[in-house]
Amino acid sequence: MTAIHAQVLAPPQTRPSTREWLQHNLFDGIWNTLFTVAIAALLALVMARVGPWIARAHWGVIADHPRFWLIGLMPVELALRAYWAGGLLALMVLLTLLGVRARVRPAALLSAWGGILIAVAWVMSPVRLDQIGGLYLTLLLAVAAIAGSFPIGVLVGMGRVSPLPVVRGLCTLYIELIRGIPFITMLLWFSVFVTLVSGDALSRVERAMVAMIVFTSAYVGEIVRAGIQSVPRGQMEAARAVGLSGLATMRHVVLPQAVKNMIPALVGQFISLFKDTSLTVIIGLTELVGTGRALLAITQYLHDVREVYVFLLLTYFAFSYAMSSASRRLEQRLGLGER
């Protein structure tokens, strides 16, 4: 019997050359070519004005105070604890990325995160929240608000589509009321009027965290409501037909599909939340913007306003772009938008 040998052909090369990419994306037709030339001329004009300023700018306000930008006015004897805690979290983020790529079970990653958070809480236990500042405080506010607003938002979003009129009405009232109030007003309200009830039981940082959680939960709740309603009704009817209760249907059938659909909107909301941490400067917190304003109050740096705000712009952009990039990779992995 004659053996048949199949020749395995290499897949065709689909990656275009540099010339082909330029021709297809930048110089495809007369209008695209004119638009590309106009944009290039505009960028050259901007760089001609900005380039010399970058070269002669006084970047000492940034380079000479790395500790102040990182942790603000935290006492020197406690700074090492902040660095250890930050290092543990950075290590866990790296391990999480590697674990996701290696398809480690989510339960194992959550357990590891629980252990790391307990260790971080123990390391930072001697540090009061009002002693933290700089980038550390910005990240602390953002992480606490995201972690607190997501579960509350999920419950509010589920209540928004509840068949019970009272639950649905209360959740709708909460969402519409909070979404109709500016975030600055919410911050000022919690900073000033909540003290009439709580006194000094809550620090300014804790009041800011509560305000951000309450504010963001309403937006997350509306995103969750839209995600739940994006799941075809047939999915719920099929789950109820096989004997699942309403709660089991929501937990095992609807929410897993809804969360997948909610990823772009949720990440956009959390990016907005991260940037909104800069507004806490109006209640006296020394997060990134507050740190920059404190440095500009020093006589030596009175004229370095541009340098400070360019640095702040680049810092916020770097973190926001990292979150957006991670969201895009997650969407590609889950196959969002594909049929």
Amino acid (1-letter code) at residue 324: S
> Are the CB atoms for 140 and 97 separated by under 8 Å?
no
Say what the pTM is. Answer: 0.83
Q: Which of 158, 138, 157, 257 is nearest to 216 (CA)?
A: 157
Which pair of tokens denotes residue 262? Answer: 């909610």
Q: Hunting for tokens 């933290």 — which residue is that? A: 132
> Are the CB atoms for 229 and 257 separated by under 8 Å?
no
pLDDT confidence of residue 242: 80
pLDDT confidence of residue 327: 83
pLDDT confidence of residue 314: 93
Query: 229: which residues sit within 8 A by CB, 6+ positions away?
Result: 161
> What's the CA gap between 266 and 323, in Å, rounded?
11
SS3 338: coil
> What's the CA gap between 280 and 210, in Å, rounded?
12
Sign (positive or negative) of CA dihedral 103, 105, 110, 113: negative
pLDDT confidence of residue 5: 56
**Region for residue 244 given its phi and psi (left: phi exceeds 0; alpha: psi -120 to 50; beta: otherwise):** beta
Q: Give percent of the chain above pLDDT 90.
A: 21
Cα of first residue to Cα of last residue in the chain, in angstroms, is: 45
SS3 134: helix
> Are the CB atoms for 211 and 190 separated by under 8 Å?
yes
> Are the CB atoms for 88 and 116 separated by under 8 Å?
yes
Sign (positive or negative) of CA dihedral 302, 307, 310, 311: negative
What residue ranges of the chain have pLDDT lower than 70?
Answer: 1-14, 198-199, 334-339
pLDDT tens for residues 281-315?
988 888 899 998 888 888 888 888 888 999 999 99
pLDDT tens for residues 37-61?
999 999 999 888 888 888 888 888 8
pLDDT confidence of residue 13: 58
